[in-house]
Amino acid sequence: MSMQKQQEPQTTGHVWDGDLQEYNNPLPNWWLIGFYLTVIFAIGYWFLYPAWPIAGTYTKGFATITYTNDKGVTKTVHWNSRALLMEETNAAVAKQKPYYDKIGSMTPEQIARDPDMNSFVISAGKSLFSNNCAACHQQGGVGKMGFAPNLTDDDWLYGGHFDQIQQTITLGRHGYMPPFKGVLNDQQMTELADYVLSFTKVPVNPESAKAGDALFHSETAACYYCHGANAKGRTVIGSANLTDNIWLWANVPAAKTVADKEDAIKHVITNGLHKGVMPTWGGRLSPDQIKLLTVYVHDLGGGQ
């Protein structure tokens, strides 16, 4: 360095306005060589991969990629990341295939009892559930009040046995409750709400609850037709069990006062329900995928 200081500064030799000169600070060679190498690399890249846009098209490059599309046709095209994704997806599917082959020949219960298969269900089911079911049932199957049932508790509207869950997923469900607006007056509805709340030890007026009990089993309201004489619901038609702590349509747990809880239930009785719709998955998912989801959902709620 000290030697450099003694030197006159190097200039490019250009002079403007008589005395304005430009210092010459050449780049280090290692830097220049590195720069030229990146240029050479870039040229090689242009020849191999899609690079330059030209009018409505682009240079495709000489590199090719072979993949099999979803119709089973194997194609060789110029290199592109979409085909790469297809190829990688196929590889992943091929890895899952031995498991799916086994699922085809096993009953859901056998799958749930086999440690290896059950582990596969927990891992593969998580992504299958997230892609297809979580839009309504939420991530982890926790459900949403007033929208989609919680799958992690032990209350099953249409039954929690393997075959019932499998049927629910395959065919879908449509829950319906008629509106009682105009059929029952406000007091009758309050009595019915009190009767329902009395099952879970909510401090309601016992007289009113008793009247509700009578009304529930009478032909006037005829609640027992669907909800059963014991009010525990019927899995065949998916009518709710009214005696437990699980609520889907009337947000009773969030209501603070008894009056609010009554109102939540009365709202459902007044307007009925026509929105408990679960779509049919039979045509969208393969029978093996549905069987896998059956085991997964069964495991979520601890099963029945």
Partner 1 sequence: MENQDSLELYQKRIPIITRSVKGKFRRFKTAVLLLGFAVFFLLPWIPWHRAHGIPQAVAFDVGQRKFYIFNLIVYPQDVFWLAFLLFIAAVFLFFITTLLGRAFCGYFCFQTLWTDAFMFVERWMQGERPVRMKLQKQAWNGEKLVKVGGTYVIWFLISFWTGMTFVLYYGYAPDLLHRFFIGDAASAAYITVFGLTFSTLIAAGFMREQICAYVCPYGRFQSVMYEPETLAVTYEYRRGEGKNGRIGMKGELKQREKRQEQGYGDCIDCGICVQVCPVGIDIREGLQYRCISCGLCIDGCNEVMKSVGFPQGLIRYDSELNAESAAPKAPHLHWKRLKVLGYFAALVIMTTGLVMDIVNEKDFEYSVEQIRQPLYVTMSNGDIRDRYEIRLTNQADESVRFHISAEGLPPGALNLGLMQDALVHSGHSIIVDVGVELKPDQIKQYKSFEFVIQSLTNDKDRVEVPMNFFSESSGI
**Which residues are at the interface with partner 1 (CB under 8 A)?**
1, 3-4, 7, 10, 26, 109, 112-113, 115-116, 118-119, 122-123, 139-140, 142, 150, 152-155, 200, 241, 244-246, 253, 299, 302-303
Q: In the bound complex, what is the minimum distance in angstroms from residue 55's beta carbon to partner 1?
A: 38
Residue 244 Cβ vs partner 1, minimum distance, rounded to whole Å: 3
Smaller CB distance to partner 1: residue 35 or 58? 35
Q: Supply 64's token pair.
A: 């090719």
Helix (H) or strand (E) holding 275: strand 273-278
Our CB check for partner 1 shows the closer of 23 and 71 to be 23
* Residue 61 Rama label (left phi>0; alpha psi -120 to 50; beta): left
Beta carbon of residue 190, minimum distance to partner 1 (angstroms, whole number):
24
SS3 of residue 3 by DSSP: helix
Q: Which is nearer to partner 1, 18 or 26 (CB)?
A: 26
Query: Shortest Cβ distance from residue 165 to partner 1 (Å)?
Result: 14
Shortest Cβ distance from residue 152 to partner 1 (Å)? 5
DSSP letter for each residue of 216-241: HTSTTT-THHHH-TTS---TTTTPPP
Q: Which is nearer to partner 1, 130 or 280 (CB)?
A: 130
CA distances from 35 to 29, 30, 43, 45, 49 (A): 10, 9, 13, 15, 21
What is the enclosing helix (H) or strand (E) of 258? helix 258-271
Q: At residue 95, what is the residue type?
A: K
Selection from 244, 245, 239 nearest residue 268 by Cα: 239
Q: What angle do CA 300, 302, 304 make, to 5 degrees?
A: 120
- Between helices 81-105 and 287-300, what is the axis angle to 10°? 70
Least distance (Å) between residue 220 CB and partner 1: 28
CB 201, min distance to partner 1, A? 9
Pairing of strands 57-58, 53-54: antiparallel
Would you say 38 or 245 has its CB closer to partner 1? 245
Choice between 88 and 207, CB closer to partner 1: 88
